[in-house]
Structures are given as structure tokens and as C-alpha cells.
Amino acid sequence: MPFLRAALAAALALPNGSPPADAPRPRLVVLIVVDQLRGDYFTRFERQLSGGFARFWREGAFFEQGRQDHAIAETAPGHSTLLSGRWPAHTGIVANGLGVSDPSTPLLELKDMGQGASPRRFRGTTLYDWLRASDSASRVLAVSRKDRGAILPVGRSRGEVYWFDHGIFTTSRWYRTEDTLPGWVREFNATDPVRTLAGSTWSLLLPDSAYPEPDSVQFEAGGGAVTFPHQLSVNIDAAVLQIAGFPVMDSLTLAFALRGVERLRLARGRATDLLVVSLSTTDAVGHAYGPDSRELHDQVLRVDRWLGRFMDSLGVLVPREATVWALTGDHGITSLPELAAAKGRPAGRVWPTDAFADAAQVTGGDPSFGFEAGLLFGDVARLRARGVKLDSVADALAGKVASVPGVARVYTPKTLKRAAASDTGAVLWRHTIPDDLGWLLCATLEPGYVWSAGVIAEHGTTNLDDQWVPVAFLGPGFVSRRFVEPVSTTDIAPTLAKVLGVRPSERLDGRALAQALARTRR
């Protein structure tokens, strides 16, 4: 397996270091987020899991029916719930387009390349703030390929927060006043892993017979490279762009996180430190090939193995008995509509072009207005100041959207407010939209349908496949048991807070999962 060997040789070498002494409470809490990790992947691939996923599945407190219980099942809102214990309606992170983009905080050492990012839109606090309130010596390291995957679990606090952009791990001016990256980050970047891996081949991890999925499916990858093996370009510039969709990107992220733990000496002080690692490749593979693909299957197995190696390596630096783990996903994924329709299932892509044209006419092309995953939002105060009758406009637009095949329900601010508590779609939208957000309509789709004008697999709807993620805990203070009752990702933070003995500083939407706890820490 040359791709796996190249990744490990280039990136996942075990750093030197001696483990710290034991502590009466955990020295390190680790959150692992796998972007687009749908909850059914564990039962689907159970017999082939032997690494990190297997440990959570077989040894941890594992909730099979976790939910990102809000309407826009995307990366930014999903990550905002994980360590805040609150829905997007309260974190203020409604959608990717209203996430972390921030031109006022440019990236370091990229000379105007990339997009500035910060948690400026995030509201409230997270587990890291609660740890620091308990002991100001607590520190954080958050790492991801995506900026929003690294930033949002930490909230507005400054700390060691890094993501991958244009071939290097970097951060923004929100987190550093200096114009240069820390020495250990520059040292890691100097190894130039993308150049080392350029031209590498992604082949199947297991024998061909271990994969029941067909290898050649015309709807995958936009009809492009749909069969194994897949090759990373030998051209460096092209490889920098392509690597996001190759499994090795996750190994680089884990290697960078491991290096950071060593160089920052996390878990070596008196306080509990926080490590957040968000692995993004499953999302890229899932979008390109869909959740029913051989590529997705192989990607999940590779993350399982790499996560197991990472856990072993981290155990050399921080004793396992001093480490608490949590695992989840930021959202799920819906099958490619074309593939589902070919199998006779109701499915399709929804893009209400006529309604968009009407909205553009009403708003006069106001750039503050946008449509994302069923929500039409913008500066309604400006329309109101111009004398626009907002209720009438919203009702007219809602009528047009409701007539599009695949649309299940449409709400305006007026109708959402009075919708019954039994209306699950309305409840999910209430969990999503802050009271002060300007918007004109929101909508839900029938199962199998996605908001999309393109050809990739999508997520973002209120349907179960997009909401469904695992929620699991491992380490001291947790039982080893599987649970089938639905839980929310907003339950992760209060559960960890209970085990760590820290107090949330505000009212949460989630609750501590007492059934997962082996004992209560005071």
C-alpha cells in the first residue's frame, strides 16, 4: 500500500518525549470530529474496523443514534454545536456562508492567498472557556484541514488553532499578533509533505473482494475518475488542490496534531488541556463519490487505521488513564439522487430558480441576501425601510418554493413562529435561526432530495441521513456500552464538563448523558 506507507513515512512518525505523571482528573480531553461521518457507517463496516473507530465502538460509551438536531446540516453549524452545548440559533453560526470567513483577519505566511478566518460571528462560550474559568493554565490545540473545523469548536477564545491552506498549516491574525507562524509549525511545513506525496496512488486498503460496492458508477465524481486506483497529480500546484480529497490528508492532519501535542507539551501542566482534531477528507470523498461508493468505504477504513495509530502515539505522550476522548461527526450525507432514482427510490435535486429570480427583483440585487440549504436570508430591515411589505413578499416566495417537486414544507417568519411543536421540521429550523437574523423563508425537503444545482452528493437538509452522526466517549469516567436512544451533539459538551468537573458558564441546549458516566466527578 504505497499511499499509506508514503503518508506514514512523511507525516506520522512518532515524536520523542516522555509521558507526564498521572493526575487525579484527566490531563487531556480529546475531541475527534470526522467530517460527514454518518452514523450507520459503524454497523455497515463493523467487521472491518480494527483501529480507532473500533475502540470507540467496542470499548466506549457509544450512542448509535446521534443527531445534529438543526436544519442546516453543514460543517460550520455542526462544529459550532460540539463543545458549546448549544444549537446554531444560539451560537450564531447558521450556515457555512455565515461561518468563519473574515477578511479582517488574514492568514499567516500566505502572501494574500487564502481567505481570512475567525470566530467573530460565534456567540457565547465553549468547553475551553469553562476549562479556563476553572484553571487559567488550561491550553488548547485545534487542528483541521478546514478553517471552520478548527475554529468553531473552540469558540471565540484565542489559542493554538491551525488549518490547512495552499499546502501548509496556518492560522489567522485573530490568533497571533506576529506575522509569522510558530517555529514548530514552520518546521512541519518545511517538510513539504504535499511534494513528497505528489504522484502517489490511492489503492484499496483491503482485497477487492472485501468491498461489495461496484467500482465503476457513472454518477460518481461528476463522471470523471470513478475507478481505483486514483492518483494524486505529480504537479505540485494540482496536488495541493487535489489532496483534500485523498485519504492521506487525514494522516497529515493527525501527524500535525501529534507534533503540536509534543512541542506545546500539552497535558504536562497542572490543568486539563484540550485537543480538537477535525478530519475533513471523508467529506470530500463523500461529496465526490457518495456514501454508497467503494471510495467512501475505503476512506472510512483508512481513517479507522490512522486514528488507531494516532491514539497509540498519543498514549506515549499522555497516559491513557489521563486522557478522555469524544468522537462525533458534524453532519451526515444523502445518497446521490441520480443513483437513488436509478434504483427506483424517490430522489432529486431542488433549486427553486423562479423564486430566486423573484427574490432578486424584490431585493434589488442586495448582496446581503443569499440562499443556503433551504434558508433565504438577508438585510430585511433595509427592505422594510424601503416600504416593502415583508409578509406579502415572504408569502409569495414561499408559494413558489412550495410548488417545486421535492419540497416538503415551507415556512415564513410568521408561519414558523406559530408552527406546532409536533412539526419536526419547524423545530429544527427554530434550533437554527437566531432571533435577530433577517430572513424571508426556510424550507424542508422530502427524503432523498437535496438542495443542489450540481452533480455531487450533498447534505444540509433536515432529513435523517444528513443529521445522523455517532456520539461516543472513551476513557476514565465512561462506561463501555452501546446506546440506541437518540441524543444530540449539543450533549457532548455538558457530558465532558461533568466528567472534567467544570461548570458551563451559560444555559445550554444539551444535557449531560448520565447513562454514559461510570461515576460522577466532583
Q: pLDDT tens digits for 91-130?
A: 999 999 999 999 999 999 997 787 899 999 999 999 999 9
* Mean per-residue pLDDT, 12-25: 44
* Mean per-residue pLDDT, 386-406: 93
pLDDT, averaged across the chain: 92
How is residue 8 written as a grid cell? 506514514
Task: Classify burial at 175, counting beta carbons within 10 Å of its beta carbon; exposed 0-12, middle 13-18, buried 19 or more.
Answer: buried
Band of pLDDT at residue 217, cut at 50, 70 and 90: confident
67-97 pLDDT, tens digit each: 999 999 999 999 999 999 999 999 999 999 9
Going by C-alpha positions, the residue among 234, 291, 306 that lies closest to residue 37 is 291
* Mean per-residue pLDDT, 383-390: 90
Task: Say yes or no to pLDDT of 10 above 50.
Answer: no
For the chain, what's the residue count? Answer: 522
Give all domains of the chain, ordered by start, each with its CATH number.
Answer: 28-180+250-337+463-516 (3.40.720.10), 348-447 (3.30.1360.150)
Task: Say yes or no to pLDDT of 222 above 80.
Answer: no
Q: pTM surpassing 0.85?
A: yes
Distance CA 360, CA 375 (A): 15
Beta bridge partners, 163, equal 144, 170
Distance CA 489, CA 187 (A): 35
pLDDT at 367: 82
pLDDT at 112: 77
Q: Which of 365 and 312 is assigned the larger pLDDT?
A: 312
pLDDT at 7: 42
Distance CA 123, CA 99 (A): 11
* Mean per-residue pLDDT, 405-430: 97
Q: Which residues contact 473 (CB under 8 A, 6 or more apart)?
A: 60, 61, 324, 325, 326, 327, 495, 496, 499, 513, 516
Strands 487-488 and 61-67: parallel
Distance CA 198, CA 200 (A): 6
pLDDT at 13: 45
Q: Which residues contact 201 (CB under 8 A, 6 or more apart)?
A: 2, 3, 229, 230, 231, 232
Q: Which residues contact 101 (CB under 8 A, 6 or more apart)?
A: 115, 116, 117
State in Å, rounded, how far the first CA of the chain is from the last one.
Answer: 48
Band of pLDDT at residue 253, cut at 50, 70 and 90: very high
Strands 273-279 and 28-34: parallel
User: In the chain, what percentage of residues exceed pLDDT 70?
Assistant: 94
Task: Say yes or no to pLDDT of 221 above 90.
Answer: no
Band of pLDDT at residue 194, cut at 50, 70 and 90: very high
Band of pLDDT at residue 24, cut at 50, 70 and 90: low
Distance CA 92, CA 433 (A): 8
How is residue 249 written as a grid cell? 490528508
